[in-house]
Amino acid sequence: MTVVAFDILKFAEKLEAGGFTHAQAKAAAEAFAEATSQELASKSDLRELELRMTVELGGLIVAATGVILAAIRYLPAGAGH
């Protein structure tokens, strides 16, 4: 996963410059830093996940087709008529 650097001090300073009190800016910056500290998926991460899911789905389709063909093979002749 991609990690994004976040300068909490600079963020708080910009909030103060915009009219927040020091306490408000500090609380907002800390809350934002905590919320964004979770691991976020990048576009590359999502593409890799999509590829893995596509490959796995393809495998499941092949397996299901094999099971269906095997079941058809062992049906008695004329069972579908």
32 and 49 housed in the same domain = no
55 and 70 housed in the same domain = yes
Predicted structure pTM score: 0.47
31 and 14 housed in the same domain = yes
23 and 58 housed in the same domain = no
pLDDT digits (tens, 9 = 90+) for 32-63: 888 877 777 889 999 999 999 999 999 999 99
Range of the structural domain that residue 7 is part of: 1-40
* Whole-angstrom distance, CA of residue 28 vs CA of residue 22: 10
